[in-house]
C-alpha cells in the first residue's frame, strides 16, 4: 500500500492479463453463448464447441439475465479476511439460477445480515472490483446483491 495505491494489492498467483481481457464480456455483462439451432443457453460461453443438446456448431453471443434466485449458499467464514474481497465478510459464495435458466457461480456482497443470504432469495447482478492486475489496474466483474424483485 502507498499513497498512489491506497488499496491492498492481491498477488496470490500468476496473473494473466490476456485471459482476463478475453473474458471481460462475461465478467462485465454475463455474456455467454446461445445455440443458434436449439436456443440452449450457456455460461461461461461455449465458443468453438458444439452444442451438447443438438450437436449444432453455431454459437451466438447471448447476454444472460441479470436477476435470479439463489440455489445454494456457502459461507467462507474462516475467521480472517479473504484478501481482495473487501471488509464485508464472511465471503458468501453462491450458485444463482438466473431468470433465463442459466446457473452461475458468484459472490453475494453488501448484505446486512448473513442470515438473509439463503436459498430462494432474489439477487441481481452488479459490477464490482474483483482484483488487481500486476500493473495495478483494477479488474472488474460481476457480483450479486440481494434485491426485492
Task: Note the residues at the interface with Zn ion (CB under 5 A).
Answer: 35, 37-38, 40, 51, 53-54, 56
Rounded to whole angstroms, the Cα distance separating 131 from 49 reads: 29
Q: Which residue's CB is nearer to Zn ion, number 50 or number 74?
A: 50
Task: Provide the minimum distance between the beta carbon of 124 and Zn ion in the complex, in angstroms, as a whole number.
Answer: 28
How far apart, in whole angstroms, are the C-alpha atoms of residue 40 and residue 36?
8
Q: How far is the CB of 107 from Zn ion (least distance, A)?
A: 30
Question: What is the DSSP-derived secondary structure letter of residue 21?
Answer: H
Cβ nearer to Zn ion, comparing 42 with 142? 42
Nearer to Zn ion, 54 or 74 (CB): 54
State in angstroms the smallest separation of the CB of 43 from Zn ion: 15
Distance CA(18)–CA(98), nearest Å, equals 28
User: SS3 for 110?
Assistant: coil
Amino acid at each position: 500500500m502507498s499513497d498512489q495505491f491506497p488499496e491492498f494489492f492481491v498477488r496470490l498467483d500468476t496473473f494473466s492479463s490476456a485471459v482476463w481481457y478475453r473474458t471481460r464480456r462475461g465478467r462485465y455483462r454475463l455474456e455467454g453463448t446461445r445455440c443458434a439451432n436449439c436456443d440452449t443457453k450457456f455460461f461461461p460461453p461455449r465458443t468453438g464447441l458444439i452444442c451438447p443438446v443438438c450437436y449444432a456448431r453455431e454459437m451466438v453471443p447471448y447476454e444472460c439475465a441479470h436477476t435470479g434466485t439463489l440455489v445454494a449458499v456457502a459461507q467462507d467464514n474462516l475467521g480472517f479476511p479473504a484478501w481482495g474481497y473487501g471488509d464485508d465478510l464472511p465471503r458468501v459464495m453462491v450458485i444463482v439460477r438466473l431468470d433465463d435458466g442459466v446457473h452461475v457461480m458468484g459472490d453475494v456482497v453488501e448484505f446486512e445480515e448473513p442470515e438473509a443470504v439463503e436459498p430462494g432469495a432474489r439477487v441481481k447482478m452488479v459490477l464490482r472490483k474483483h482484483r488487481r492486475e500486476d500493473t495495478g489496474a483494477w479488474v472488474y466483474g460481476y457480483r450479486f446483491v440481494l434485491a426485492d424483485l
